[in-house]
Amino acid sequence: MAACGSLRRSVASPAGRHTASVIFLHGSGDTGQGVRAWMKQVLSQDLAFQHIKVIYPTAPARPYTPMKGALSTVWFDRYKISNDCPEHIETIDSMCKLLTELINEEIKNGIQKDRILLGGFSMGGCMAMHLAYRYHQDVAGVFALSSFLNKTSLVYQALCKNESILPELFQCHGTVDELVLYSWESFGSLCKNIMDLEFYLVPFEESRTRCEAVKSRGREYYLKTQHHG
């Protein structure tokens, strides 16, 4: 594990020359090492590429309101786990600043910003959307797995004000997710005319075959946005 500020991380180094990077943010209560192990289980191999470095940072532990103030490795606080409440902007923005340090470190290492992909699982996907669409609209792309934005999210406001080309979003969600309901997904309907968006809904009864298709498309998306340079 290395550190950027207070962020520990797990890193999957490229097999060849490093020309692009992925920053993969874990869900609430997890770690970078944990989500890397989960991806390895899902893919039956480590998420690794010839020229792309995959970085799995770990959020610092902070008091988490949905857990009655107990410490948890979360990217930001929430007032509650719901899309129908205000965002905890103070903690979201402070984490955006910390993650920007990680982006800047990759740039200092010679990686162009438009060859850095941001994304994550659950809360990590939400964090990635804030980071990319509010602060870093010139990254290669964004992915969000089982994630949601609050109805009044500042991400929507930033997108409506934007006049430049936005990074493409790749989004997936399961229909039987009991914590983050797929009915909360409103990003696609609100933003389909503003930006390029791919959204995959995975029904439980088709989970095995659809997941295989999504896994394949996900790898294609990684490689498309991080074309060999």
pLDDT value of residue 199: 59
Average pLDDT value for the chain: 82
Helix axes 123-130 and 154-161, enclosed angle (nearest 10): 30
**Does residue 141 contact residue 168 with C-beta atoms inside 8 Å?**
yes
pLDDT digits (tens, 9 = 90+) for 82-115: 888 999 999 999 999 999 999 999 999 999 999 9
Question: What whole-number distance in Å separates Cα of residue 227 and Cα of residue 229?
Answer: 6
> Domains plus CATH for the chain?
2-225 (3.40.50.1820)
Centre a 10 Å sphere on the Cβ of residue 48 and count the other Cβ atoms it contains.
14
Question: What whole-number distance in Å separates Cα of residue 63 and Cα of residue 203?
Answer: 34
pTM of the model: 0.85
pLDDT digits (tens, 9 = 90+) for 154-173: 998 888 887 788 888 888 77
Burial class (CB in 10 A: 0-12, 13-18, 19+), 27: buried
pLDDT digits (tens, 9 = 90+) for 193-203: 455 666 555 55
pLDDT value of residue 220: 64
